[in-house]
């Protein structure tokens, strides 16, 4: 059982290796391949937590912090590799791109260290450093440099804003709807990567609608409740 428990830590740490593969694709500007590897990292991140709890990893391997390991891997997959892609993609204003890349990794590091990053109902506080998703939408929409630059700058600022963002798995409210939308979004994202972001308007609209649901659904629900009160 101790060996199996430690194997979960190895499985989690493999996310860092996957991040390296994603970075190598990013350096070659093979962006669809980079996002594919980041997608694999998401799968690892989704599986390792339930595995750790089932095998009682914290009790059997008390000298190894799964929480710290998870944060390290999450930082490179959710923040560092996407920051490189955003800064070097030539989708932003050239003068601003490296500065915003620095802003992403610095704000992301601070966010990961913030003990208040999750609310009591499991919503994230502020923009939750999901820079892999932000980078995906940057490539998907392929807007002119000025609005793309402004969008990234706004997301950096929203990292510390007092609003809640949906956790796709842990938030209980409307979980059935959220999981269905996440499954549809994953299918649409895979389709998008297969065709190297050359997809039609219905795919783009669908992905944007799902992204908007994650970002603003809590604020909308709270507003509706306040009106009813």
Q: What's the pLDDT tens digit per position in 21-30?
A: 999 999 999 9
Tell me: pLDDT of 229 over 70.
Answer: no
Residue 105 and residue 80 in contact, taking contact as beta carbons nearer than 8 Å: yes
Q: What is the pLDDT of residues 148-164, one digit of tens each?
A: 999 999 999 999 888 88
| 6, 82, 104, 203 from 110: Cα distances, Å | 28, 16, 10, 34
- Backbone phi, then psi, for 116, in 5-degree steps? -100, 15
| Cα–Cα distance measured from residue 21 to residue 23, given in angstroms and rounded to the nearest whole number | 5
Domain residues for 143?
2-228
Per cent of the chain over pLDDT 70 is 97
Radius of gyration of the chain (CA): 18
Residue 124, H or E segment? strand 124-125
Give the pLDDT of residue 114: 86
The count of domains in the chain is 1
Whole-angstrom Cα distance, residue 116 to residue 114?
5
């Amino acid at each position: 059982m101790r060996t199996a428990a430690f194997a979960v830590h190895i499985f989690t740490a493999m996310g860092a290796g996957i991040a390296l593969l994603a970075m190598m694709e990013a350096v070659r500007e093979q962006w669809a391949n980079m996002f594919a590897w980041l997608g694999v990292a998401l799968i690892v991140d989704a599986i390792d937590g339930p595995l750790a709890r089932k095998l009682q990893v914290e009790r059997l391997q008390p000298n190894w912090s799964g929480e710290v390991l998870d944060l390290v891997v999450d930082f490179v997959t959710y923040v560092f590799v996407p920051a490189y892609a955003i800064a070097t993609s030539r989708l932003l204003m050239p003068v601003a791109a490296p500065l915003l890349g620095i802003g992403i990794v610095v704000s992301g590091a601070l966010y990961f260290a913030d003990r208040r990053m999750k609310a009591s109902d499991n919503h994230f506080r502020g923009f939750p450093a999901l820079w892999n998703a932000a980078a995906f939408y940057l490539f998907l929409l392929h807007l002119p440099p000025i609005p793309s630059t402004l969008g990234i700058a706004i997301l950096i600022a929203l990292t510390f804003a007092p609003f809640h963002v949906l956790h796709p798995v842990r938030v209980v409210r409307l979980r059935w709807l959220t999981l269905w939308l996440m499954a549809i979004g994953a299918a649409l994202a895979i389709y998008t990567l297969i065709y190297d972001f050359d997809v039609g308007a219905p795919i783009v609209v669908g992905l944007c609608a799902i992204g908007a649901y994650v970002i603003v659904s809590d604020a909308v629900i709270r507003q509706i409740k306040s009106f009813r009160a």
